[in-house]
Amino acid sequence: MLNEERIILMTRMAAYEEGEGKKNVKIGNYFRSDYIAVQVLKSIICAVLAFAIVFGIYMLCNYETFLRELYTMDLFAFAKNVLIYLCSTVAGYAVLTYVICTWRYAKVKKSLKCYYHNLKKLNSLYNEMQ
């Protein structure tokens, strides 16, 4: 005998498993601190690489000016300014990543909690039939 409530619940759960559930289960398998640490580490590496690429392009575009002023400029102050820009860029990007990943992890955990609640409900519906 078909139970409409069971069919609706199974259909909803199957759609979740095929859609966003795959990604959510991967995220949900991590501890919160581990997931956030991995994501922040990846974002720091990407921010450093992006800064190096942008700085390299900037230096190529202003290469003639840089060479003309090379002997008159304070190289330690120039390096200090570059490091300050690098650190502020990386720190800002890391903080933004931390906030986004914390929010994303909480959202995924809430979604998985609902999914597991539906699994228990489906199990109870099967036990009622027997």
Among 35-39, 42-46, 57-61, 110-114, which is the least confidently predicted range? 110-114
Reported as a pLDDT band with limits 50, 70 and 90, residue 123 is confident
Residue 3 has pLDDT above 90, yes or no: no
Q: pLDDT tens digits, residue range 8-33? A: 888 888 888 888 888 888 898 899 99
CB 39 within 8 A of CB 116: no
Residue 118 has pLDDT above 90, yes or no: no
pTM (2 d.p.): 0.79
Measured distance CA(114)–CA(116) in Å, rounded: 6
CB 46 within 8 A of CB 89: no
CB 43 within 8 A of CB 97: yes
